[in-house]
Structures are given as C-alpha cells and as structure tokens.
A = this chain, B = another copy of it.
Amino acid sequence: MKIDAYSHILPAPYFERMRELAVDPGALKRWLELPALHDVDARLRMMDEFGDGYQQILTLSSPPIELLAGPAESAALARLANESMLELCEKHPDRFPAFVASLPMNNPDAALAELAYAIDDLGARGVQVFTNVSGRPLDDPAFQGVFDEMARRDLPIWMHPARGAAFADYATEDASKYEIWWAFGWPYETSAAMARLVFSGLFERHPDIKIITHHMGAMIPYLEGRIGLGWSDQLGSRTAGEDYRNLLPRRPLDYFRRFYADTALSGSAIGTRCGLDFFGADHVLFGTDCPFDPEGGPMYIRETIRVIDDLDVTDAVREQIYHGNLRRLMNART
C-alpha cells in the first residue's frame, strides 16, 4: 500500500471555472500540457502503472484560490473545488480515498466556515494553505483561527509554496528570468513561512499541530546547521533596534523538526536521505508532486518510489513513509 500524500489535481468543473478567470499565461500553458492534471480519465490511466496499491489523497493544484477570486467570490470557488474533489473520491474510492479542503483564505471568516463544512459535511481529512495569502504571511493574526481550528480538530494542514506578492517579491523581471522564481523562489517562500510560524510561537500554542510541508521541508533540512548554530543560537545578533533574544522558550531549530514533510524531491536520493535524517521516520510522508513531471504524471511517482525503496531503512519505516504516518495524521479508522 502506497498513499501519495501530495499530488495535484484540478477537477474538471473547477478547471473550467478557472479558465474563465484571469490567470497567468505561463501557468495556463503548463496546465493544458498536462491532461492528468484536469482529466480524471487520463489521471486514472496514468495511475494504473503503479498497481492497485497506489492511491492519492486529492489536493487542489496551484494557484491559491485568492489569486483567482476576490474576498466576495473566493468562498464559492473553494466550495466548487471541494465538492468536485469529493465527487472524484466518491466515484473512485480505490484510487482517491480522501481529499484535502481548499479554503478562501482572503476571507478569514469564510475560510473558517468552509473548513467546518468541508470536514464535517464533505468529509475532508485536512486543509491546504499556501505559504502566503496574497503576500500576507501565515502568522498574520487574521489566519490564526485556521491554525487553531485545525489543531483543535487534530487534522493536518498541507502547506504548498506560493510566489509572494509583498512578503517576498519575485515578480520582478529578474527573478522571472530562467524560472528562478519557481526553482528557488518557492523553496524560499516555504522556508520563510515555516520560520514565521515557528518564531510567532505556533508550536508553543499548539505543540502537536500537524503541518505537512511540500518538497521535504524546502531548504530546512540542508540548512540544519545554519538554522541551529547560525540562527537559533545567535538570533538578534544581526539586528539593531529590535530584541529577538528569548523569543521562544526552546531552541528555534527544535521547532522546525516538528513539521511533517513529504518526499516530493523529484527523485533525489541524497535529498530524501537528508530530509529523513532531519525530520525523522515518523514525520516523513510519501508524496510525489504528480503530475508535474516531464512525462506529465507517472515519472515523479516512479522515481520517488525508487528512492524510497532504495533507502537504507527497515521495512517498518518504509511502511510508515508509504502510508502509516499519513493514516495516523488523518486519524484514519482503517
């Protein structure tokens, strides 16, 4: 059994609606080249390669809903996404055992309402947030309710990178050049979002909150030393006019290990080993980033399985990564 904790989908009714809304032409070009992203028949055919034991938890693809609809319209768009994902789960339960709700984050009250409806009425097993909300960082008090509520419900938050608008602006010609915004801007955004959550005290308020970071925690595992001796143990030494010392009762690096991380590193064995060593076997989940690979779907799945199968770990740990950890996080009954 292998449950893919982080793949991306645009259910057909939602995709049709998206195309009517203003979207980045580069993104639109990409989606159209990937049938497995928005055509469920293509998706299912692609999944056959991996046998009956391969399943996907559905999470909605980029961009964040708030980049497609203003605060008055985003709730309806999130509802359409969630109902469309549920429909896919109901039609194909052997492939899609559960979905993760999208939220209208640019309307915090509506986001809380959709969170409750999607989980209580539609059966979502978590929610997805992006690393900033139209440039506002996730530790903005406006979004605290979502984190509080997910901690209270003991269900995971999937965190996907998003290009920042004001938070860290890569929308300059220079960062767009060669798609650097995608290659490095997204890992930057994820790392910065993790830091904002840590330093704002999220894990003090909610020690057991479940946050699944995409792409194996972005920069964090590789920068273990920089975050530890470089930052945690010298916080504030580079800043005049503000005192960051004693911001948190524990060493900041320790909180970074509390995140969960998926294996979506595009088939890198050395990265996966590093991430697993950082987060530990009970915090790493099989996730692939399907279908955004050169073959439009199966390649990241195949390469990620190869990497996990080759890891020098016990079978019990491999089972944890492939499905045990995710089922535990989602409080799955079976």
CB pair B271 A221 closer than 8 Å: yes
Q: What 1/0 flags go to A169-201 for Cβ under 8 Å of B? A: 110101111111011110110011001100100
The CA-CA distance from A196 to B174 in the complex, in Å, is: 10
How many copies of this kind of chain does the complex include? 2
Residues 248-306 (chain A) with a chain B CB within 8 angstroms: 265-268, 270-271, 273-275, 277-278, 289, 292-294, 299-300, 303
Docked-complex contact B231 and A270, CB < 8 angstroms: no
Interface status of A54 (Cβ within 8 A of chain B): no
Of A185, A192, A275, A300, the most chain B CB neighbours within 10 A belong to A192
A215 within 8 A of B: yes
A25–B241 CB distance below 8 A: yes
User: A226 to B30, Cβ gap below 8 A?
Assistant: no
Q: Is the CB of A183 within 8 A of B268?
A: no
**Do residues A219 and B219 form an inter-chain contact, with CB atoms below 8 A?**
yes
Q: Are A178 and B191 in touch, CB under 8 angstroms?
A: no
| CB-defined contacts of A178 to chain B, threshold 8 Å | 195-196, 199, 235, 244, 247
Q: Mark A47-88, 1 if CB is under 8 A from B, else 0.
A: 000000000000000000000000000000000000000000
A288 to chain B, nearest CB (A): 11
A331 at the interface (CB under 8 A from B): no
Q: Is A225 on the interface with B (CB-CB < 8 A)?
A: yes
